[in-house]
Structure formats: structure tokens, C-alpha cells
Structure 1
């Protein structure tokens, strides 16, 4: 099945195979004449990145690239990227790649015109109003994975290299002006990345669905996002060239990011400090802690999960859904516990303190305290 579509929710999305060829046109449409393509080190030498640069170059937009991006982008990466943006006289960003390239590309476009430090724009209250909106450069986003959903998000996650904490930087204009979702760009993803990013999409949908906050639009999007993951993630993992599965997973990733406006929870509040300290893959870390968090939240979400299970065609209510998650993790080669990822349980106190301070903790259905979070982390080991 071939899917070609133009959507205007939550931003302009150009969806379909081969649509990367439109990259230069969309840059010019939003006023970018000298873009800086921001991606990660691994992608910087790959054919899909060279193709994107060739498309820009052929339209006389140059082929400038910044790829000094860590798997969990830091303020140091951001400072270097802003310097490259200013030194090159750029007027917009092509954020290209998975979550790291997308998040840092967006942050570079945001910070290039600001005079205050990035931490002044953390997603707290109305801190975003401190920013100079006229200094934010236009962004065209091109995801090459299907998980983070940053291509349709109004935030960027940046790790503080001094405190090793992840901070969410928010501004409405961090939402890309145009997003190109071309499933062909995800065909070359290794199985481990397909697995980790796909489980990230599931975590976004699952936590948004379980969040106690009121947002019925996100609730519906989260539920359908989970269905797409259930139907198509195993297919994409089994056969990376299954373009239909790749396309539906790109949709699920975007849906998860839209849905979590409703809130996230303990899956993310646990995985954020683990990723910041140990530099683990964010989606894979989410997948590892998912079953213990489901058990932790069961008293508050059992009926909700039973309803979701029925919609997804899973028998057995909460227990059936829990078993499905375990089977899916096994099928996708997800480690069964944090220690299998090479992490020792010697910093649980520190991780727990960071977890309850993480903004995702506020959306967890069961209130997180230092003591119950320590116990939860122990279950994850």
C-alpha cells in the first residue's frame, strides 16, 4: 500500500515515499536560503544524508552540515552548533535524523537568536515567554527513525553536562514549520534502532493514555497510536524493507509525540536520568522499565488498560496487556532489566532523586515519592 498525504496537524506534514526530494522546495517556502543540516555523527556519512545535501546543493542552498551531536544531546553540542550556525551565516535549520539530530537541530534554530542561557527556557510555567520569538530561525524537520516524534513537537530535550540531568526546553516556535515524513529514509535502520525507537513510540502513547490529566483528543490519538505499533512494529523489525510497516510506524511516532501533550509518567522519569548518566538509548531504556512501571501503576490504571486491551484485540484485560508487552520486548530483543544493559544498581538513590524531580513524574497516575521510586528502580534491576 502506498501512502501519500499532506497534513496540517499539528504542523505541515508532507508524508509519503520519495518526498525527501521536496526538501529544497520546502526550505525555500519557509524563507530558508542558507540552511544548516543538523544530524548525528552516525548519520553524517550515510547515503540518505548525502542525498539530502545533494538536493539542497542542487537548489543552490549549499551543503552545510553540523554533526557534532551526542546520542543524548548536551549543552556543549548546542553551543558548538550555535557557533556553526552563526559563523556560517545560516538562516534556518534542517533537523535531520532520530531524536538526537531533531532535538539539537531545533534547539540550535531556537538559541541562535537568544541572549539568555538555554536553561532559562526550561518547560516550567511561562518561562518560554522569556524568549525572543523573532530570533528563532525556521526549521524543516526530516525524521529518519520512527519513535521520538520530535518532528512534530514544541520542545527539545538537552542534557546539562554539568549536572547530568535532562532538561525539556519549550517554545511554541520550536515546532518545525514543515516536516517531511518519508518512510524510505527509515528502511536502513538497524534492528536494534527499529526496536528501540518503536518502543519509544509505544511508551509515548501508553503513558499519554494512562496520564490522569484531561485531554480527550490526545487520549484518542494515543490509543490508535498503540494499535499501529502493535500491528506494524513487529513487521518493521522482521523486515526492514516493509515500506507499509515503516510508514505506519512513522505515523505512530508522530501520534505519540502529539498525544503526550496530555502527560508522560514514570517510564520517562526513570529513563531520563538513566540516559543522562549512562548515555543509554532513550527508547530502549523506556522499553526496559515499562513492565515494572505498569505493575507500579496498576492500582490506578487497571480499568484503563483493560479498555485499551479490548480495543487492541488483546484478551485478558490488564494481565493480557502486560503479557503482550513482555512478549513484544522478547520478540524485539529488548533487555529484560537495567543490569542487562550494563548498569549497576549502585546509584539508585541518586537516580531516584533525579526521577522524582523530572517533569514527566508529574503525569504519573500513582504519585511518585523518593521511597516508592527507589523500590521501583530496584524492580527495574
Structure 2
């Protein structure tokens, strides 16, 4: 089977090894003549970034790059990126990287033409309608990890540097016009990042599948996304040059982000404040939180996982799936407690309210309260 395709769900996706060479055509399709490539500090000096800048330059698109992007990007990074965009006379963004580079790149394109502060566009009600939609610059997204799925998302997560809260900024036009998913760009990911990002994709699929909201398309995508992670993450972890495994994981990442249109839940409600306060890796944090959240939600999700487990190749229905999750984490050397990642229990008065105000709460099958969220934090820390 050839792992190459052109998709338009939820946006145009050019998928396949070596397709970064099609970046100039993607920019042309998006109407971009002078792009700013936005990536993170770690990726900026790497060969894949230099090669991408070479492709841009050879096509007459320049070598504009902004890389002052933290692992949990903030409004400070965003302001600097918007300034670089305006000073360079750019007319679009190539969002390049993992979640941080993709999220900030999308926000630079979004905010470059706005006059209100970014927090006015938080994903609350219809706040997105406050934006000047015509001023949003076009975006081409190029993921270099297989986890967040931000390349097919209509939102970005930005950390408020003053309050240490992660905020979701949403607008339909933040969805990139064209996505290039080239698994060869992920070959250099070290094993622990491969595991952490892959388990992020898994968490997206598990939470979307668990969400009580009705979205059959997302439900089906979430189920198949879980299967791809289960089948291919161990291969990508063991052999980073396994391009088939890398390709299947890129698909799973995009599928997870497409599926969670149906909703997320307590895993993300916990991991967002933990990441904002303690600066932990998001996907790894999700993985540590998953077993305790499955236990909380078990009465509401048992039946659907009883049905899903067989398709996933897991015996024992829900109980088999719950046991598998811990074994799966262990196989990638994921810590069993967040204390091993530097998280302490003395911030509970801050973490619990932040979790309860996180938009992900609404998709949890069991209503989240001060009591059960406190118990979850105690269980995972």
C-alpha cells in the first residue's frame, strides 16, 4: 500500500515522504509570495529547517524566519513574532514544527492584522467573531512531530505569562490553507520526544472517543487513530528511521486533532495547568494523567471501550484497555507520577481552579468538580 495521498478533510493535506519539496506550490495555492517561517528555538538550527529555507529561497520566497518560540509559547513570543512579520513585509506564514511552532505560527498570521489583544479571542462563546476575518493572513502548516495535530486545527494554545494560564484562541480561519505532512521530517526526533508526542495523539483520540457529545465522524476517526498509535508508535520509538511507522503516526496525529472537534476531557483539563505552571512536556503529561482519568470516567465509558477493545487488538474489553494503557506507558519509560517530572503538590490551590476553568472540562463524560479534580491531581502527582 502506497502511503501517499491528497486529502481535503478538514483542509487540503499533501501527505507523503519527500513532499516538503512542494512547499512553493503550497504557498502559491495559499496566495503567499513572501512567507515568514515560524518555528521554535530547538528546530531553527537543524538541517531540516535549513533545507526548507533553501527550498523557499530557490523559489523566490526569501528566507524569512522567526524562531523565538518557547516550548509553551506565550503572548510575549506572539508579540515578537507579529513584529517580525510586519517588519519583514510578509504576506503569510509557514508554521513549521511541533505544537509550539505550529500554534505560534498560526497566531502570528491571525494577530498580524488585528487591533484587539489576543485574549479577546479566547475560545469562549462567540468571542471569535470579534476578529477582523479579512485581516487574517494565509497559513501553510508543516508539522515536524507526530502528536499535537495543530496543523489541522482551528485554534492555538497560548500561555498567559502573567497568570501562567494556558488559553485556547479560536477562529475558523486559523485553519491552515494547505498542510504538508512529510514523515521524513520526523525521522530525527529522539525516542522520548517520539513517545511523548505520539502519546499526545493517543490522548486526543482516547478523549474524543470518550466524549459524550454526538459526532459520529469524529468517533470513527478517534477509534482508528487509537489503532494507528497502538500499532505504529512502538515501531517509531524503536527505529526512528522507520518511515512507514513515522507516516502512520503523522496520520494519527492529524486524526486526533480532527477527532477532538467532538471534545476533550479531564486529561487535558489537568495537563494544561500543569504545563503552564511547571513547564512540563504536554504529551508526556497527558500520558501520566490518562490512567487516573480512565478510572474516573469508567462508569460512563465502559460500554464503548468494551466494544472498541477487540478492534484495537486488546482482550478483556474496558478492563483490558485500562491495563494496556499503563503497560503502553511503561514501554516508553513514561513516569507513573508527575512528581518524577518536577511537579509538586503545593500548588493545588492554583491548579484546581485552572483545571475547572479549562474549556476541555466540557467534554469529560463525568462532570468535573472541585472534589474529583482535586482527587485526580493527588492521584497523578
Q: Which TM-score bucket, shorter chain as reference?
A: over 0.9
Distance (Å, rounded) in 1 between the aligned partners of 2:263 and 2:27: 32
Following superposition of structure 1 onto structure 2, how do residues 364-379 of structure 1 map, counting pairs within 5 Å?
A: 364-379=364-379
**Residue 224 of structure 1 aligns with which residue?**
224
Distance (Å, rounded) in 2 between the aligned partners of 1:174 and 1:160: 19
Q: Confirm or deny: 8 A CA contact 1:2 1:244 kept in the other structure.
A: no
Distance (Å, rounded) in 2 between the aligned partners of 1:338 and 1:145: 23
Distance (Å, rounded) in 2 between the aligned partners of 1:97 and 1:178: 15
Tell me, yes or no, if structure 1 residue 335 matches structure 2 residue 316. Answer: no
Distance (Å, rounded) in 2 between the aligned partners of 1:52 and 1:335: 35
Distance (Å, rounded) in 2 between the aligned partners of 1:2 and 1:193: 26
How far residue 2 of structure 1 moved from its aligned partner, in angstroms, is 4.0
Over aligned residue pairs, what C-alpha RMSD do you find?
0.8
Q: Confirm or deny: 8 A CA contact 1:111 1:118 kept in the other structure.
A: yes
Which shows bigger deviation, 21-30 or 99-108?
Answer: 21-30
Following superposition of structure 1 onto structure 2, how do residues 71-150 of structure 1 map, counting pairs within 5 Å?
A: 71-150=71-150
Distance (Å, rounded) in 1 between the aligned partners of 2:86 and 2:31: 17
Distance (Å, rounded) in 1 between the aligned partners of 2:6 and 2:146: 18
Unmatched runs of 5 consecutive residues or more in structure 1: none
**Deviation sequence 1:44-79 (CA, Å, 0-9, x none):** 000000010000000111101100001011010000
Which shows bigger deviation, 1-10 or 41-50?
Answer: 1-10
How far residue 371 of structure 1 moved from its aligned partner, in angstroms, is 1.3
Distance (Å, rounded) in 2 between the aligned partners of 1:316 and 1:369: 30
SS in 2 for 1:257: helix
SS in 2 for 1:43: coil
Superposition TM-score, scaled by structure 2 size: 0.99
Unmatched runs of 5 consecutive residues or more in structure 2: none
**Residue 349 of structure 2 aligns with which residue?**
349
SS in 2 for 1:336: coil
Following superposition of structure 1 onto structure 2, how do residues 30-69 of structure 1 map, counting pairs within 5 Å?
A: 30-69=30-69
Distance (Å, rounded) in 2 between the aligned partners of 1:297 and 1:206: 12
Following superposition of structure 1 onto structure 2, how do residues 297-316 of structure 1 map, counting pairs within 5 Å?
A: 297-316=297-316
Superposition TM-score, scaled by structure 1 size: 0.99
Distance (Å, rounded) in 2 between the aligned partners of 1:12 and 1:317: 36
How far residue 310 of structure 1 moved from its aligned partner, in angstroms, is 1.7
Runs of 4+ in 1 over 4 A off after TM superposition: none
Q: Confirm or deny: 8 A CA contact 2:278 2:342 kept in the other structure.
A: no
How far residue 205 of structure 1 moved from its aligned partner, in angstroms, is 0.3
Q: Confirm or deny: 8 A CA contact 1:349 1:374 kept in the other structure.
A: no
Distance (Å, rounded) in 2 between the aligned partners of 1:281 and 1:2: 33
Q: Number of aligned pairs?
A: 381
